Amino acid sequence: MKNHSIFRYGFLLEQLVKRNFNTKYRQSVLGVLWSFLNPMLTMAVQYIVFSALFQSDIAHFPVYLLSGIILFGFFNECVSLGMDSIVLNGPLITKVAMPKIIYPLSRSLSSLINLVISFVPLLAVMLFSGAPFSWALLLIPAVTALLFLFALGMTLILCTLNVFFRDTRFLWSVVSLLWTYATPIFYPISIIPPPWQPVFRLNPMYQFIDFLRTITIHGACPAPAQWGMCIACAVIPLAAGILIFRRNEDKFVFHL
């Protein structure tokens, strides 16, 4: 069976996403509410801790916080669960032939659903804190899509590496922690010493979060340069991810 078209496996993708969703919520009392509660609780804690420090500098601080928490939370979940997707499905990959990209892809799509759900509390907090509701909000799907492509690209790179080197996971937990602190989630980028700021702006996660904040806090459409940066931050890692994954996927089966 040489025709391993992804489209022929659309139903498998649907089934795998459904499985991720069901197994996540089936045995929890709160169910889907978790997708609301998790970012809200994180926001509440960070708000209490940091509001005295940064609130005067930042308009609509709860919205500022939650925009960052939601996007970074998605990225973290998507990559850390996705990087194990090939290894965890090893028993299957060694017994049935199929397009292997289905596993990281279905995992990332499941996280995407969570992200979309968590926009509900974001809108609620916007309403509560009096942030502007403008037409710019219609751009939320755009930033969501770009961030998704970036996260998928990173997932593809890391899940490939994880097949060959199982300590990738431990390495990644350190990297992701550093990445969290290097991203202006609860602090403004203005507290970074000016010579370092251009370096911090190279962080793709900063670009996506800043894009969302332009929409939610300023109610404005991001400038063309910001669009350019976000598109580049999505497309380049995705292309790299697909390339690395394709180059190596035939070898996975020997390392599982």
Q: Decide if 82 contacts 111 (C-beta within 8 A).
A: yes
Residues ≥6 apart with Cβ < 8 Å to 151: 74, 75, 78, 79, 82, 108, 111
- In the complex, the smallest distance separating the C-beta of residue 38 from another protein, rounded to whole angstroms, is 21
CA neighbor of 63 nearest in space, from 200, 204, 216, 205:
216
Using the minimum distance from each CB to another protein, give the nearer residue, 16 or 122. Answer: 16
- In the complex, the smallest distance separating the C-beta of residue 188 from another protein, rounded to whole angstroms, is 36
Name residue, tokens 């969703």.
21
Cα 181 from Cα 178, distance rounded (Å): 5
Residues ≥6 apart with Cβ < 8 Å to 201: 189, 207
Using the minimum distance from each CB to another protein, give the nearer residue, 91 or 194. Answer: 91
Using the minimum distance from each CB to another protein, give the nearer residue, 25 or 36. Answer: 25
- In the complex, the smallest distance separating the C-beta of residue 90 from another protein, rounded to whole angstroms, is 10
Using the minimum distance from each CB to another protein, give the nearer residue, 78 or 163. Answer: 163
- In the complex, the smallest distance separating the C-beta of residue 11 from another protein, rounded to whole angstroms, is 4
Q: For residue 19, what is the enclosing H or E element?
A: helix 10-25
Using the minimum distance from each CB to another protein, give the nearer residue, 19 or 138. Answer: 19
Please give the residue ranges that form the binding site for another protein (CB under 8 A). 1-2, 4, 8-12, 14-16, 19, 22-23, 26, 91-98, 161, 164-168, 171, 250, 253-255
Cα 204 from Cα 226, distance rounded (Å): 11
- In the complex, the smallest distance separating the C-beta of residue 248 from another protein, rounded to whole angstroms, is 12
